Amino acid sequence: MAIQSTNPSTGKVVKIFEEWSSAQTSAALSSVAVSFNDWRNSSFLRRAECLRSLAGLLRDRVDKFAHLMALEMGKPVKSGRAEVLKAATVCDFYAENGQDMLLSESLTVDGMQAYVEYSPLGTVLAVMPWNYPVWQVIRIAAPTLMAGNTMVLKHASNVPQCALAIEEAFTDSLFPDDVFRTLLIGAGQVEDVLKHDSVIGVCLTGSEAAGRCVAKAAGVNLKKSVMELGGSDAFIVLADADLSKAAETGAQSRCSNAGQACIAAKRFIVHKDVYEPFIIKLKAEMESIKMGDPFDSETVMGPMASFQFREDIHDQVQRSISAGGKIRLGGLIPESDGAYYPPTIIQDMSFDADVSREEFFGPVALVFRAEDDDQAMEMANDSCFGLGGSVWTQDEEKGLKLARRIEAGLVYLNGRVSSRPPLPFGGIKNSGYGRELSTYGIREFVNVKSICIG
């Protein structure tokens, strides 16, 4: 894939970048390796200062980043601004809490004094996607750098200007040079980067296919990997749910970012007693979401990130119809220049159809009917993915029991699945492994070292 910005609202190529040669990549990795020698010995206080200054720059440049995201992947500027501000909060979060999360632990073992310490390891490679171009990068960079590691970013090839603007923010902040670098490389160079001695691990957010390739390359090189892959989150509506609130939240979750989110509600599993009333409400909510120009400050839903992604989702919709699904809303490509796809609802598709097992990465809600709560649980767990999920019921005790049965890394009861810095974020099954955010995230790329005084 060429490294280039293409405006999905118009289809026009905005800027093309030449991919770095392997010599350029090696030179950048060597510079980052040199920086690691100082950065690993910096105090937590200094690292926190650097993170706070980065947070300040992200806030100052919120409009610039929002504009670049609208330009390169069609995110409405209003959502882009919220994303950048959220990224700033994760810097503040680790500046505030990172040191406590990595404090040396003291314990007595068999009469000996022992310590467990968390020390930095080297350079972490971040292979990142285009759907949240700022948040995803800062979410992994903040804890990784606070732990004393350095980082190189291989961003998705369709968001190079976002990638360079992130690097620029690091350069202009208090961070020393070469603690964080953007590599302008395609997927083909990732394996070589992993062979570099200074690179100690990789975290990837993206598709299952990319995850398998990069995890394999990491394994061959005995480098640690953290994988945040796709999801097909169940949104379970029980008979006693607050249908209005569930429908409003479900529509937002499904259509936010034009449906291109790993933790979006994707499979709506609805108790038979409220099946039709819920669909009526969901349809009203999704209909009210207006698509439009991402540069317009009032737009809630922009185009999809590329024409290819729109083709992919439309193909899934067509195959869903072939599998018995009925279109209740949308499903037609609008006549406009951009890669727009409307909010769409498909109901009554066979749960066993192959296509219903796929991740729908666009604003398409699949609605399935469950005979009872147990069947709803079985359907929720009958998926190769296990990222997030939500349960909607007014009986909190029952809801909590069911939430515990959902096979996923993150479950909300009567709420929209979202990532929050204090909570671990990540999946099970084909949604990946390892955790980001929280104490668990900052401890992914450290040497958990035991020291024992005999």
- 397 catalytic? Reply is no
- Among positions 190, 279, 406, 408, the unique one binding ligand NDP when judged by CB under 6 A: 190
Q: Residues in contact with ligand NDP, total (CB under 6 A)?
A: 25
For position 292 contacting ligand NDP by CB under 6 A, the verdict is no
Residue choice 205, 249, 299, 344 for contact with ligand NDP (CB under 6 A) = 205
**Beta-sheet pairing, 432-433 with 224-228:** antiparallel
- Separation between Cα atoms, residue 406 and residue 410, nearest integer Å: 9
Question: Smallest distance, Å, CB 130 to ligand NDP?
Answer: 6
User: In the annotation, is 285 catalytic?
Assistant: no
Catalytic residue among 19, 83, 228, 358: 228
**Taking contact as CB under 6 A, which single stretch among the options 42-50, 225-233, 244-252, 326-334 is the one that binds ligand NDP?**
225-233
Kindly tell me which of 50 and 138 has the beta carbon lying closer to ligand NDP. 138
In the complex, the smallest distance separating the C-beta of residue 147 from ligand NDP, rounded to whole angstroms, is 23
* Per CB under 6 A, 262 contacts ligand NDP: yes
Q: Residue 432 carries which DSSP code?
A: E
Distance CA 180, CA 175 (A): 8
State the DSSP H helix or E strand holding residue 377, giving kind and residue range, or none if neither.
helix 373-381
Residue placing its CB nearer to ligand NDP in the complex, 131 or 256: 131
Crossing angle (nearest 10°) for helices 62-73 and 44-60: 70
Q: Per rule CB under 6 A, is residue 183 in the interface with ligand NDP?
A: no
Which of residues 259 and 399 has its CB atom nearest to ligand NDP in the complex? 259
Single out the residue of 32, 77, 127, 346 in contact with ligand NDP (rule: CB under 6 A): 127
We find the least distance from the C-beta atom of residue 132 to ligand NDP, in angstroms, to be 7
Catalytic residue among 262, 358, 359, 444: 262
Segment 17-56, which members bind ligand NDP (CB under 6 A)? none
Q: Which of 19, 167, 285, 359 binds ligand NDP (CB under 6 A)?
A: 359
The count of other CB atoms within 10 Å of the CB of residue 326 is 13
Q: 264: helix, coil or strand?
A: coil
CA angle in degrees (0–180, nearest 5) for 82-88-93: 125
> Annotated active-site positions, please?
228, 262
